[in-house]
Structure 1
């Protein structure tokens, strides 16, 4: 096994001991061995070698409650700043953030802090909670969960570049109970143990949304809280848009329900206390190209003559956040 990956995974295994998540160890170690032997991206070992070149630093402080900020510019010299910047740019594109490392601002495609600021006033206190982030990307929201007092934060996402980006950030703040595992939700055993499960920006990528929601449910303990964010359309409880081959240039978009339809789905699966926390149309300030993500972004996916429509003629991206409790 890659020595770095082995350390990452063993740290996650140790963190489960003595917690309500301990039974995850029935399947997780073998899954990580399988990942190492069969599932690695062709660039994975090269990315790990680049991670090893990141210099050791001593941050003067960290802030995960208001942002993801580790250290200050005065903590490092100009050579080290250039070294860190050059290595981090090898892991482009950076999509979710932003991050600040010793004054180096990783200006990601998404201002994920905008979404977090909309969500956090509506959720239960995360203090001392065990939290799962499904489809966590590079882990921006995981750090904010930690900053909100979570006891342990676990992110799953099969995209290995995101895991590398997460580990690049964690290199500068290693001693935190926050872990990334290269899994999809369909690989998760029903743990029935997390206090809080987040799923933000995943549902519309699933061919079977009901099965996905049920998988989320079975990660929660009874009384646990689901925070679900997804693309929605206007309409009543019978309104669901299934776009054609592309939606906003994305090929893997399947179902965009109305808020009422999504609420009905959750009710059918046995969730209770379902509430709408937020509805927001994605702005060009929230998703855009930057020097850390230089390819096309939202502006290129909307009708230039009518920004309320995608380039294909569908309603422009609108996202809702629903909060629900497992009965």
Structure 2
């Protein structure tokens, strides 16, 4: 594990490319895309993170669970058949802390509980009852961070789960989690440090596609939705989660400056407006399955993410407003289908 090894992704793309030829097109582009994404001059800090991952103990097998609130791996057995020692477990904690801040989770890995900023299991629990069956599906998680939801998807029986996110830190965190889950019996879950722009047009390779917490960061939300549709196979299911505001089909908030202290927030539509966008782009069976105002129990500072979080970004006199005076973060989950 001297350098990131993407051979498993290459092999799967070659395999599934027999059915979806555009995967072969992407496969030809991938080495160059990945070299640029992890270029040492552009991301000098990544080399240090990768050194920490190399120092994590090699684990042949572990007792892992991908269906609990925290992605869990315990009872790690090394290639020589020995369990991790108490000193090795302390080392694991220190190495994982070197990858902070941890945003999405939680994880419980070989005795180290990572209390992430987001309780991502809350969102998963709101989504799962409405999601189509995942068993045997090929799933793309766009902007999936360190891969929490990708592991939960795999826990539901997905055949192949691919998480993409352009952050090298998130890629490093994913690699650390995967190493501590052990080699034996692990489902096919991969991560690429890329954005959706890396995908070739008309990929049409995935049965289910998740875009959660991404749309409001895009200057052109309709183009993003079109990119998502392009990656889905005909009949595939889109899971879209984003910030919304109250209103009718013509209601969409464009913050004048920052929103909840974030400078990269663009369009916050109403659910009705977002539904109209999806239908105009040709999605069918569009439905909103959840609306939830984000609470300070779901997003907060922790020992693993020590910077400011949601409570610091709300109006101290009125938690229903951001400190800029906009409606406090409210998130909706919409499902839609790409027609056959």
Q: TM-score range by the shorter chain?
A: over 0.9
- Residue 158 (1) aligns with residue 157 (2): no
Q: How far is 1:244 from its partner?
A: 1.6
Q: How far is 1:91 from its partner?
A: 0.4
Q: Is the 8 A contact 1:59 1:102 kept in 2?
A: no
Q: Structure 2 CA distance, aligned partners of 1:172 and 1:102? A: 7
Q: How far is 1:29 from its partner?
A: 2.8
Counterpart residue number, 2:194: 183
Counterpart residue number, 1:109: 117
Number of residues paired by the alignment? 324
Q: Structure 2 CA distance, aligned partners of 1:253 and 1:69? A: 33
Q: Structure 1 CA distance, aligned partners of 2:317 and 2:108? A: 36
Counterpart residue number, 2:3: 4
Of stretches 131-140 and 44-53 in structure 1, the one that deviates more from structure 2 is 44-53
Q: How far is 1:185 from its partner?
A: 1.0
Q: How far is 1:103 from its partner?
A: 2.6
Aligned residues: CA RMSD: 1.7
Give the SS at the match of 2:91. Answer: helix
Q: Structure 1 CA distance, aligned partners of 2:38 and 2:103? A: 25
Matches within 5 A, 1:42-191: 42-57=44-59, 59-67=61-69, 68-72=71-75, 76-173=84-181, 174=183, 175-190=186-201, 191=203
**Structure 1: unaligned runs, 5 residues or longer:** none
Q: Structure 1 CA distance, aligned partners of 2:61 and 2:2? A: 25
Give the SS at the match of 1:114. Answer: helix
Over residues 165-188 of structure 1, what are the superposed CA-to-partner deviations in whole Å (9 max), with x where a residue is unaligned? Answer: 000000122443111111111221
Q: Is the 8 A contact 2:221 2:267 kept in 1?
A: yes
Over residues 209-262 of structure 1, what are the superposed CA-to-partner deviations in whole Å (9 max), with x where a residue is unaligned? Answer: 000000000000000000000000000000000012100000000000000000
Matches within 5 A, 1:1-327: 3-5=2-4, 7=5, 9-19=6-16, 20-21=19-20, 22-23=23-24, 24-37=26-39, 40-57=42-59, 59-67=61-69, 68-72=71-75, 76-173=84-181, 174=183, 175-190=186-201, 191-327=203-339
**Structure 2: unaligned runs, 5 residues or longer:** 78-82
Q: How far is 1:60 from its partner?
A: 4.2
Give the SS at the match of 2:124. Answer: helix
